Amino acid sequence: MLTHLESEAALVAQAQAGDENAFVKIYSRHSRHIYRAAFNITQDPQDAENALQVTFLKVVRHLDQFRSESRISTWLNRIATNEAFARLRRRRSQNMVSHNRTRLTRGGTWMTRKIEGYQDGVGEIYGNTMWQAILSSVMN
């Protein structure tokens, strides 16, 4: 009978040889843990799910580069961690350039703030103009 590590190594070898069922087994065994690791970093279910998917896409593309010097779970975790941190960095940089910021007020309601001096985009200007026309037609 094979030990867990031996069966894992055999499964990886089968997946590297192109056995799709072996890859599905690797995914089934590790996807839950990878999702949780990504969620712990991003604190966002959508980002964690995306990190999980990208992780396994990268594994499909680069499985031939996996050297069995470590466990497959270690390799998967490293890929997922890198991807989750990348998503976190992108989210933070997007928040910094966003002109709208939403925050929770003391009363428990959500409020959108605009940064002073920000020029509305064409879509927002058009939408505001259209909204003003509708309001004035209703009021007259």
pLDDT one-digit tens code per residue, 27-58: 999 999 999 999 999 999 999 999 999 999 99
Structure confidence at residue 132 (pLDDT)? 63
Structure confidence at residue 46 (pLDDT)? 93
Structure confidence at residue 138 (pLDDT)? 58
Same domain, 38 and 73: yes
| Sign for the pseudo-dihedral over CA of 65, 70, 71, 76 | negative
Q: How far is CA 84 from the centre of its chain?
A: 6
Same domain, 111 and 59: no
Number of domains in the chain: 2
Same domain, 87 and 106: no
**CATH at residue 85:** 1.10.1740.10
Same domain, 56 and 25: yes
Give per-residue pLDDT as tens, 69-87: 889 999 999 999 999 999 9
Same domain, 17 and 59: yes
The structure tokens listed for 11 are: 């499964």
The Cα–Cα gap between 31 and 97 comes to 33
Highest mean pLDDT among 44-58, 82-96, 124-138: 44-58
The Cα–Cα gap between 4 and 25 comes to 13
- Which domain range does residue 117 map to? 100-139
The structure tokens listed for 140 are: 């007259």
Same domain, 84 and 32: yes
Same domain, 69 and 8: yes
Average pLDDT over residues 96-116: 55
Percent of the chain scored above 70 by pLDDT? Answer: 62
Same domain, 83 and 110: no
Same domain, 16 and 57: yes
Structure confidence at residue 130 (pLDDT)? 58
